[in-house]
Amino acid sequence: GQQVMQIPQYQHVQEGEDFTTYCNSSTTLSNIQWYKQRPGGHPVFLIQLVKSGEVKKQKRLTFQFGEAKKNSSLHITATQTTDVGTYFCAGPRDYKLSFGAGTTVTVRA
Amino acid sequence: EPEVTQTPSHQVTQMGQEVILRCVPISNHLYFYWYRQILGQKVEFLVSFYNNEISEKSEIFDDQFSVERPDGSNFTLKIRSTKLEDSAMYFCASNFAGRSYNEQFFGPGTRLTVL
């Protein structure tokens, strides 16, 4: 079945630094979604990428969908304490979303 | 802004007991989902539901689980005989277009603790 893998599992970042989390699927995806889960919270949709090679930006967050539509990345610039949480990529297949294991981000001031 | 709501926020039960977790999806949404998240782990799909029937279910969703839309607003997950390993956060989600091609809106979750 479809598997979505995500690295790194943990990212400890100095405030102001950049980091990237990567997502890989075992199968070609129709689209990929990214969600953020704050500590103790629920997943909240961030963005959906549909086209091969697509790049979308949300302020300091840059999302990219690979040319083969099997991988994706999230790059955060100038990390802030508000970026703390777990970022999940999710690949849809029919009526289900397969989530990656997530990258848990902590920020040191 | 419309939200998915879930009750209770925390449920403690004894092993072997039945539990019902309740969700009220966003009112104009047509597709409903249950996910679970064991502490510190990833979000796992359990089941999707559309037009009063299950669209898809995972291998986790065995005969001990059932879902129901008893009226026009509620969507429930029943676990017939809870096991210790059922302890997790259970999230309900909904969306309008289904087939996971659009964002899913998640509720705040119910933390289930099985003793």
- Condensed to tens digits (0 to 9), the pLDDT of residues A22-65 reads 999 999 999 999 999 999 999 999 999 999 999 999 999 999 99
Q: What is the DSSP-derived secondary structure letter of residue B8? A: -
| HSE value, Cβ hemisphere, 13 Å, CA-based, for B22 | 7
Average pLDDT over residues B94-111: 84
Which residue matches tokens 């008893």?
Answer: B70
Q: Is the pLDDT of residue B98 over 70?
A: no
Confidence of residue B2 (pLDDT cuts 50, 70, 90): confident
Contact B100 A94 (CB under 8 A): yes
Residue B33 pLDDT: 95
Percent helix, strand and coil across chain A, each rounded to 5?
A: 5, 55, 40
Q: Is the pLDDT of residue B100 over 70?
A: no
Helix (H, G, I), strand (E, B) or coil at A7: strand
B55/A30 touch (CB, cutoff 8 Å), yes or no: no
Given a cut of 80, whether residue A2 has pLDDT beyond it is: no
In chain A, residues 66-85 whose CB comes closer than 8 Å to chain B: none
3-state secondary structure of B84: helix
**Stretch B59-72: mean pLDDT:** 93
Which pLDDT does position B99 carry in this prediction?
60
